[in-house]
């Protein structure tokens, strides 16, 4: 059965991007043997992301010339028209997350669904009672301002499944739905 999972990195003060949507503060973990992301993405069959995340990836691909990093079909939530990146399986959507979740579940073929960017988007999946797991990798930095991890009050929805260090610069938390 598919699980809907929010996998992200955050600063110690709870931001997933700086005030300019930048991620330059997020250094790679200093543990070259860490397989957290590799293990996670192997079980993902479909991806949802917010428009700011999509645009950040688009800018990075243009800057570096790298290819689109995901083989999975991806739904980008946006309120304005966006240009697709050629050769990608990206669908632009807006509105209620529930019908998109149903389409993602069908496309995932039994694999998990990843909320790949946007605390607000993850919050919408939570509000619709569709968010099963949160994987948060806290970097040992503070930003003071930026895009919040989850910009809403959430009390009692999750319980701690695990905590573990990633090298000496990050700590990984796994939270699961509490019902």
CATH number at residue 58: 3.40.430.10
HSE-up (13 A, CA, CB side) for residue 140: 9
Count of structural domains within the chain? 1
Distance CA 100, CA 30 (A): 36
Strands (E), the chain: 4-11, 15-17, 44-50, 74-77, 90-93, 112-115, 133-139, 147-148, 158-166, 170-177
Residue 66 placed within a domain: yes
Tell me whether residue 171 is in a domain.
no
pLDDT band at 103 (very low <50, low <70, confident <90, very high): very high
- Give CA separation, 27 vs 54, 139, 179, in Å: 20, 8, 35
Confidence at residue 30, expressed as pLDDT on a 0 to 100 scale:
67
In a domain, 70, yes or no: yes
Average pLDDT over residues 122-151: 96
Residue 161: CB atoms within 10 A of its CB come to 12
Q: Could you report the per-residue pLDDT of 54-89, keeping only the tens digit for each?
A: 999 999 999 999 999 999 999 999 999 998 898 999
Q: Is residue 81 part of a domain?
A: yes
Residue 173 lies in a domain: no
Q: Would residue 179 count as lying in a domain?
A: no
pLDDT of residue 29: 63
Residue 179 has pLDDT above 80, yes or no: no
Domain residues for the domain of 57 are 4-18+36-166
Q: Percent of the chain beyond pLDDT 70? A: 98
5-54, pLDDT tens digit by residue?
999 999 999 999 999 988 888 876 667 778 888 999 999 999 999 999 99
- Give domain status of residue 54, yes or no: yes
Residue 101 CA to residue 126 CA, distance in Å, equals: 12
| 178 occurs within a structural domain | no
Contact predicate 130/3, CB 8 Å: no
Stretch 121-129: mean pLDDT: 97
Strands 90-93 and 74-77: parallel
């Amino acid at each position: 059965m598919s699980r809907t999972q929010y996998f992200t990195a955050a600063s110690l003060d709870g931001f997933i991007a700086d005030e300019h949507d930048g991620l330059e503060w997020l250094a790679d973990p200093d543990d070259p043997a860490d397989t957290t992301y590799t293990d996670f993405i192997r079980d993902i069959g479909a991806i949802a992301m917010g428009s700011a995340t999509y645009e950040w990836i688009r800018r990075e691909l243009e800057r570096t010339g790298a290819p689109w990093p995901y083989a999975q079909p991806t739904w980008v939530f946006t309120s304005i028209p966006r240009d697709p990146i050629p050769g990608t399986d990206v669908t632009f959507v807006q509105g209620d997350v529930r019908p998109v979740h149903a389409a993602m579940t069908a496309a995932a073929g039994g694999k998990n669904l990843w909320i790949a960017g946007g605390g607000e988007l993850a919050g919408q999946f939570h509000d619709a009672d569709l968010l099963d797991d949160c994987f948060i990798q806290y970097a040992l930095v503070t930003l003071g301002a930026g895009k919040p991890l989850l910009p809403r009050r959430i009390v009692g929805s999750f319980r701690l499944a695990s905590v573990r260090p990633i090298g000496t610069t990050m700590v990984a938390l796994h939270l699961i739905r509490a019902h």
